[in-house]
């Protein structure tokens, strides 16, 4: 904080009002947020895009440029890099959350299989059918 104040004092943009000057420079030093927690899920700030939907293609080998241009054209390249940076900084926590979500999904799928075996067979048949692989799906 002292270093920020020293920088602000070097540039007398706002005359003698040091408080205003400090706050002006502080906004350039603050960290920009790209990911927010919404109802126990992580989303890209200002969108409905989940962090996981950006990270999975990245972990599958797609570049941030491809993710931004082909998978999520509504996101800027900066937002995609911000999401990836957030993931890297919080990897262990996020991977634990993804493992927990996968366990819940598996449990739900097993209960559906047990409740309606005919429906499950139909779904499995559809999933096993040959289809075109989409990198962003």
3-state secondary structure labels for all residues of 75-128: CCHHHHHHHHHHHHHCHHHHHHHHHHHHHHHHHHHHHHHHHCHHHHHHHHHHHH
Residues 64 and 104 in one domain: no
User: How much of the chain exceeds pLDDT 70, in percent?
Assistant: 73
pLDDT band at 109 (very low <50, low <70, confident <90, very high): confident
Tell me the pLDDT tens digit for each residue of 59-100. Answer: 999 999 999 999 999 999 999 999 999 999 999 999 998 898
User: Is 101 domain-assigned?
Assistant: yes
Q: Write out the residue range of the structural domain in which residue 106 sits.
A: 91-129
User: Is 135 domain-assigned?
Assistant: no
- This prediction has a pTM of 0.63
Q: DSSP letter for 130, please.
A: -
Q: DSSP letter for 42, please.
A: E
pLDDT band at 107 (very low <50, low <70, confident <90, very high): very high
Of residues 132 and 50, the one with the higher pLDDT is 50
Quote the pLDDT of residue 129: 80
Query: What total of structural domains would you count in the chain?
Result: 3
Tell me the pLDDT tens digit for each residue of 24-34. Answer: 666 665 567 89
Residues 84 and 56 in one domain: yes
Number of Cβ within a 10 Å radius of residue 67:
27
Quote the pLDDT of residue 38: 87
Mean pLDDT of the region 7-33: 61
List of long-range contacts for 3-11, beta carbons under 8 Å, 24+ apart: 4/29
Of residues 109 and 25, the one with the higher pLDDT is 109
CB neighbours of 70 closer than 8 A, spacing ≥ 6? 135, 136
């Amino acid at each position: 904080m002292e270093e920020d104040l020293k920088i602000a004092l070097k540039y007398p943009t706002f005359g003698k009002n040091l408080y205003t000057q400090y706050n002006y420079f502080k906004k350039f030093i603050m960290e920009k947020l790209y990911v927010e927690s919404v109802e126990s899920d992580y989303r890209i700030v200002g969108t409905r895009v989940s962090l996981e939907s950006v990270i999975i293609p990245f972990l599958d080998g797609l570049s941030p440029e491809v993710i931004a241009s082909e998978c999520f054209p509504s996101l800027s390249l900066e937002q995609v890099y911000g999401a990836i940076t957030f993931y890297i900084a919080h990897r262990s926590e996020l991977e634990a959350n993804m493992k927990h979500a996968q366990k819940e999904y598996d449990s739900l799928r097993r209960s559906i299989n047990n409740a309606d075996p005919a429906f499950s067979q139909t779904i499995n048949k559809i999933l096993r059918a040959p289809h075109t692989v989409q990198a962003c799906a």
